[in-house]
A and B are shown apart, each in its own frame.
Chain A
Amino acid sequence: MTAVAASIPPQWYLLLATAVFCIGLFGVLTRNDALYFLMSVELMMNAANINFVAFALYYGDLTGQVFALFVIALAAAEVAIGIGIILVLYRNFGVTDVTVPTEMRW
């Protein structure tokens, strides 16, 4: 398994990560629903994770993998908070559309 993974040149991992990140970014920029937002952000974070793991493999260094673990833990926390925010949003505005609440603008 490791050998297979290591035999793939790192560019491909980078390409994959870029693709996932861009998908996530596209989601954030185009969707208005907060839940989609959350999912898209998750995608972008995991794109970073792919990079971490890929480079860890490439350099034979475990630090990247440790970082990926941290990010996953962080993402879990983020989802918890994010969903909390969305719930409050829904309670206050009746929608999960992020363009509706504009209380914090000038």
Chain B
Amino acid sequence: MMIEALIGFTFVAALLVLLAPDEWAGRLAFAFSLLPFAGALYLWSGFDGAGNALTGGDIAYATQIEWLEVGGRTVSWFVGVDGISLPLVVLTTFLVPLAIVSAWTPIDARQSQFYGLMLFMEANLLGVFTALDFFLWFVFWEAVLVPMYFLIGVWGGPRRKYAAIKFFVYTNAASLLMFIGFMSLTFALGDTQSFALPEITQAIASGGLETWFGISPDRIAMIAFVAMFAGFAVKVPIVPVHTWLPDAHVEAPTPVSVLLAGVLLKMGTYALLRFNFTMLPDQASALAVPIAAIAVISVIYGAMLALAQKDLKRIVAYSSVSSMGYVILGLVVFTEYGVGGATFQMVAHGLISGLMFMAVGVIYNATHTRMVGDMSGMADRMPVAVGILVAGAFGYMGLPLMAGFAGEFFIFVGSFSAPALPYAPLFTALAMFGIVIVAGYLLSAMQSTLFGPFELETDYEVGPAPFHDVAPLAVLLVAIIVLGVAPDIFFEMIRDAALPVVEGVTING
């Protein structure tokens, strides 16, 4: 019942914050958001899962209650966590309080609604990462879009309406595609009477797919794979369906960007791992080369785009595209270090990109501009914030002993000699070049904004950032370093859950 309590409490908290007066909505939301985090830590401390939830491993904190019946299939309230979802649950509950604190300065209108929506989104995100029934999962999946739409559309920058609608329509259309793909799978699984993901996964693994409307099982599986991949690819996002992301990030207020980059993107990779790579490993393996090519293109192309940007937020946004490319590469190689590293990278990137967006936000709070050419020498005025930003940037570049390096390195080790991917060394080496480009654009951007003589046209004095702006940055930085020094904190359980995925694939040739 822990997970229900977690999600339920977050919903109630959202409601209470929504009703609270604006003056103390922020403080209240922060206090409330600490409870889910404590709950997640409690889940973690008592975690007794083993193996992968979908392939028949022991699911921790599982509850399965029949809910309704749709088209002859039972829909149940089925939640639980395994080694892949628990780190993401912890990540979500960890990031939300920090994002809320980072909102205290920039959000100055309709606070109670803002924080209420943030908590509402957190509740749905927790649902996405814990739901093990497709129907339930899909409800949460779609429900995440709603608060996000409003958060961008109401509190966003000048082009917020465009960005919000683009985000909503793009990802929603992708959801439709994914939905069709998944449904075609369930229709072809004649004998399965439920939407429970473990049941469906195991039915597919044991050859339960039947001919449906004259389409052979293999073909259905392939169609489903492609449709779901395309659908999730938008969410991740992968080149070429990434263009909603920079717009959304640039327009979204800082705390929303933090959650967007930190958690929402992980929904896509999480779903890819759960649906495409766990349920249909053979299709993934058959398409390994094109998928790896897309991954490498995402890495390099995303990094090149980041190099061309002048807006600090756009730089970080595009580099997210680049980082997510690594995750895809890690998934497609089907090795423990690959899949495990991809999952680890989800958490690591969540923390690091969160830190970067937050730090850029802190600078923006002081300067009211994010353009590279508009300011210089910020290190002179806000040394602590800039120091942490520099540290975070190095984390983004994959500096060892920080979380990003661990994730990327695991992926590289896993993919370099992967038997499932032809030309694996070549793909890996190409993808690795991302670490040079990322250093290029982050260092250039830092040089021109943070260093040199202080220059900024304002009619007020730019001083150090307030404590509550800097504190979340410091907390994140510590978390990143801890995770980089001791990746086994998460990697051990991730690896445990990733192994069945790796074993599920048949390597041809």
- Are chains A and B touching directly in their complex (CB below 8 angstroms)? no
